[in-house]
Each structure stands twice: as C-alpha cells, then as structure tokens.
Amino acid sequence: MDAQPLQRPRTPIPTAAPVPPAQQPGPAALPTAIEARDFSFWYGANQALNGISLVIPDRRVTAFIGPSGCGKSTFLRSINRMNELIPGTRHQGDVTLRGESVYRGEVDVVGLRRRIGMVFQKSNPFPKSIYDNVAYGPRVNGLARKRADLDELVETSLRSAALWDEVSDRLHTSALGLSGGQQQRLCIARALAAQPDVLLMDEPASALDPIATQKIEELIYGLKQQYTIVIVTHNMQQAARVSDFTAFFYMGSLVEMGRTDLLFTTPKEDRTEAYITGRFG
Amino acid sequence: MTAHTFRDRRRRAVNRLMLALTGVCAVLTVVPLVLIFGYLLREGASSIDLAFLTHTPKPTGETGGGMANGIVGTLEMVGLAALIGLPVAIGAGMYLAESTGSRFATAVRFTADVLNGVPSIVTGIFVYLLVVVPTGGFSALAGSIALATMLVPMVTRTTEEMVRLVPREMLEGGLALGLPRWRTMLGIVLPAARGGIITGALVGIARIAGETAPLLFTALGNQFWQLDPRHPTAALPLQIFSYAISPYDDWHRQAWAGALLLILLVLTLSLGARLVFGRPERRA
C-alpha cells in the first residue's frame, strides 16, 4: 500500500511487509468468512435489502458505506440475525458464516451470536462494573470456569481493546462512569471476551469525538490480525482509513464492492463515484 | 411598539395569574397530608410509649396495654404479602414489557388496571371465599393473600413501565454476546431497571400496609399474640378500626397512637423509596 489516497491512523502499527497494489487480491481471491447469496430483507411491506450477494474475506476489514437508509446497517444486522428482534420482518436468500447457513435448518441463534461479536452505534455498557461487563458473557457461556482464568480473560480483552491501562486500577467501579470513547472500547472488549470469529461494528465511532474516533480506528487496524471485521460507517474517510475492502450500498442494493484503495480512486459505477465525490447522499 | 408593550404586559399578567393558580392547587395537594400528620402528632404522639409498643391489649374496660401484637401482625402480613406478591408481580411485569403486541398481554394489562381499581373490601370478600372458607378459618395467611392480591397489579404495572424504560441497546447488547434471552432479561435488563422497580415495590407495600378492609374478613384481628400465620392475627389498621369505634377514651387514645404509628411506617417506606429513586444510576 504505497499509493495512499487517504490517511492511515497516525500511530504506526506494525503490519506484514507491504504488497504492491497490483498483486493484491480482490475479496473473492481470499479465504471467505461470510458470504451472502441473493439476500433480501423486508420490514413489514417495506423492502430494505434487494438481492444482496457479496463475499467478506477472512481477517480483513470490510466497510459498508452508503447514504442513510441504504440498507447497510440492516445487512450488518442480518449477519447475526439481530433484525429478528423486530416484529414483522422477513428475509429471502441466505447468509453463510464459514460455509454454514446462518438462516437455514436448525441454526442455534444463541450459538451463532457467540461466534459473531457486535459493537453498536451507541455504546451500551451494562450497568455493572467494568470487570463484570467484560466477564459477564464468558461467565454465562462457560468460557472461563476458574476465577484466575476469568481475570486473565478480562485483562487480555481489555488490553486488546486498548483500555487496560486506563481502567486497570478501577476495574470494580461502574462502567457508566467511563467517557463515551472508553465505554465504546469497553463494548469492544466485551465483544472480544466472548472469543468471537467475526466482529460486526455498526457505526462504532459516529457518536465519538475525533480523538476517541482515532483510538477506535487504530484499534480496528490492530484487531484485523485476528478477527474478520465488518464495519458500517457513514464516514467515507473512515472507511478509506480503516478498511481493506469497501461495499457501497444504495437504496437496498449493493452497487459495488472491491478493494478500498481501488473503489475510492477508480470506482466502476457512476453512482459510487457520485457518492464518494459528494454529489449526493 | 405600543401594541407590543401592551400585549407583553397582558401576557405577563396572564402568566403570573396562571402560575399563582397552579401554585394554589399545589398547596391544596399538600395541605391534607400536613393536617393529617399534624393532627395525629397532637392526638397520638403522647400515647406512643414503651407499653404501647411492647404490650398486648388489656381486656375490655381496663386501661393501659398496647398494640405490640398488631404491630408485629402488620409487619408479618405485609412481609408475607410482599414475599408472595413481588415475585409474581415482577415476573408478570417483565412478561408484559416483553410482549407488546400480543392479545394475551393486552388482556393481562387491562385486567391488572381493573384489579387496581377494585375496592379493597371486595378483594377481602373474594379472599374470604377463596381461602378462609376452604381452610376453615381466618388467618394471617389469608390476610397476606388479600394484601398480595392488591400488591400484584400495582407492582406489575410499575415493573412493566420501568423495564420498558431500559434502553433497547441493553437487550441487544446482551443478545449479541450470545446470551440466552432469559439470561439477558434477568441479568442485564432487570438490574438496569432495579431502582424503579424497588421504588414501585416500596410504594406498593406502603399502600397495602395501611389497608383495613381486605383484612376484616381474612385476618380478622386478635387481642393476643399470634405468630402462626394459620390463625387469626392482629393488625394495626384493624386494631385502630375497632378501638376508634369503641366507647372507651383510653382506646380512642390508643387508636390515635396506632394511626400515627401507621402513618410513620408508610412515610418511612415512601421516603425510603424516594431515597432509592433519588439516587439515579450514572448515565453517560
């Protein structure tokens, strides 16, 4: 990645040796984590997604961009079936996680959600202590039986979310006393503690100030070594900074998906170009 | 400009008038409590002494004695009613909060509201037929069931409201972690609504603590110590009732003291509820 059209996070994060752009693979050439096949979704009579087919590669950051109401969040929430909580919704087509259908057959939704972590637009720490926020999921799911194991898991998760140094001396105080950015990183730590395979992020920085946003972006950049990350953002600079691949949604359809550097410099579709150059949306 | 200043003056005058009117209404709301409390203090305070708090009633005609058995009986019955009623009410409230659209939930909600408005004496008669007649006698247990019958709809509705106030993100956050729904409700949503539910429960308990009518046909009352909930048991409101309509001055004096004690109990519970409610969880 030597031709950088847009900024990376300022703090350098050690990554693998850069590969020349021409040799870098597209999304379909990499191992697949998530795949959607002709997936449509309705809220009552209102169709929100219109035959989405795409491939999300393993251990990369994939960003969904598009104007409000384009279906990017709906699609994200279809991956871990969170949309089912809303009455009157239905779907067609399928989404697979590591080749297994998320919707068909006897899928255990609870088990599915354990494999897919989620971070929400509005940080939603539980009204518990910082420690218990991170420990609650593993404790219930039986990931750590012994106290020492749990302590270790909490520390690792908080370190992975770059929050440990700020909270290690007050683990047992209320999570609601943290700042907005810290709360969001706590939610990331909480999701990581469940040891998921995939991390879904629904506009994780849209309610945060620039400094906190930068921290979250640096975090995403580091986390992709271990996790497949899908991030919804309405901020195109953010998509360009953090993601390897970008999918552009418009009015419930997937317009274009490709390598982020290519999509932002040489979009194939006119609508993509119009959107990224700020002519609508 | 002149038109404006005239209209401004008129607007300010109307504003002052309306503010004064609502202020008077506000004062009228507080006056009864202040008067009741003041009157009870004047009539009853001097009669609350150690004997009143620790002795049982003396036989008819003798002066002295106290309402110790009534105080304990009230605490026993209210405690039992809370033990029976609160789990049911909190469970039902969570159910209602979770099932918005269902016809059954709508029916339950409506029934709870109607039950809230049922005169307490009717509740007493109902429990008389349901518990006292089949078990063959008046008992503290029957009294508790009557009180619980009043407590459940009140606390059900407040629990429902409080659970609804918990941001949806809490439920989604728990479910997204792969927690089962019941676990998320009990472990995350319910604790998030804890303050409001405790307040609702305390207000409900304060309300039933002073009830007389539902106890008339159920607990009946008793002149002696009775801690076994299978037997007729004394209660402060019952004791106040029977003493107040008696012809003896000493009993009147004790009825005042009992009334003061009862209102202090209710006031303590309400203030406790306020303290819990006045300490809101810190939010970002």
What b/e readout covers B144-181, taking b as 16+ CB neighbours within 10 angstroms? Answer: bbbbbbbbbbbbbbbbbbbbeebeebbbbbbbbbbbbe
Q: Is B101 on the interface with A (CB under 8 A)?
A: yes
Cβ contact, residue pair A136, B191, below 8 Å: no
User: Cα angle at B75 between B47 and B253, to 5 degrees?
Assistant: 20
Question: pLDDT tens, A106-121?
Answer: 888 999 999 999 999 9
Cβ contact, residue pair B178, A87, below 8 Å: no
Instruction: Spell out the domain ranges in chain A.
Output: 28-276
Class of domain B52-283: mainly alpha
pLDDT at A40: 96
Nearest Cα to Cα of residue B91 among B168, B170, B163: B163
* Confidence tier at B284 by pLDDT (50, 70, 90): very low
Question: pLDDT tens, B187-240?
Answer: 999 999 988 899 899 989 999 999 999 999 999 898 888 888 899 999 999 999
Question: pLDDT tens, B146-157?
Answer: 999 999 999 999
Give pTM, 2 decimals. Answer: 0.80
Question: pLDDT tens, A129-185?
Answer: 999 999 998 988 888 778 899 999 999 999 999 899 999 999 999 999 999 999 999
Instruction: Spell out the domain ranges in chain B.
Output: 2-47, 52-283
Inform me whether the pLDDT recorded for B133 exceeds 80.
yes
Cβ contact, residue pair B178, A176, below 8 Å: no
pLDDT at B278: 59
Burial of A247 (0-12, 13-18, 19+ CB in 10 A): buried
A203 and A227 in contact (C-beta within 8 Å)?
A: no
Residues of chain B positioned with their CB less than 8 A from the CB of A112: 178
Nearest Cα to Cα of residue B97 among B196, B204, B223, B205: B196
Residues of chain B positioned with their CB less than 8 A from the CB of A180: 284
> Which ipTM did the prediction report?
0.84
Question: pLDDT tens, A56-98?
Answer: 999 999 999 999 989 999 999 999 999 988 888 999 999 999 9
Inform me whether the pLDDT recorded for A9 exceeds 70.
no
B238 and B217 in contact (C-beta within 8 Å)?
A: no
Question: pLDDT tens, A41-54?
Answer: 999 999 999 999 99
Read off the DSSP letter of residue A21.
G
Read off the DSSP letter of residue A10.
S
Between CA B240 and CA B257 the distance in angstroms is 9
pLDDT at A7: 44
Q: Is B102 on the interface with A (CB under 8 A)?
A: no
pLDDT at B195: 86
pLDDT, average across residues A234-249: 93
A28-276 fold: Rossmann fold (3.40.50)
**Nearest CB to A110 within list B167, B170, B178:** B178
B67 and B280 in contact (C-beta within 8 Å)?
A: no
pLDDT at B2: 58
Cβ contact, residue pair B178, A194, below 8 Å: yes
Between CA A217 and CA A156 the distance in angstroms is 19
Residues of chain A positioned with their CB less than 8 A from the CB of B180: 110
| DSSP three-state, residue A203 | coil
C-alpha dihedral over A79, A82, A87, A93, to 10 degrees? 10
CA distance B163 to chain A (A): 14
Question: pLDDT tens, B57-75?
Answer: 988 878 888 899 999 999 9
Tally C-beta pairs within 8 A across A and B.
Answer: 81
Residue percentage of chain A with pLDDT more than 70: 90
CA distance B229 to chain A (A): 39
pLDDT at A172: 95
The H or E element spanning position A185 is helix A180-193
- Contact residues, chain A to chain B, C-beta under 8 Å: 80, 82, 85, 87, 110-118, 120, 122-124, 126-128, 136-137, 140-141, 174, 176-180, 183, 187, 190-191, 194
pLDDT at A279: 78
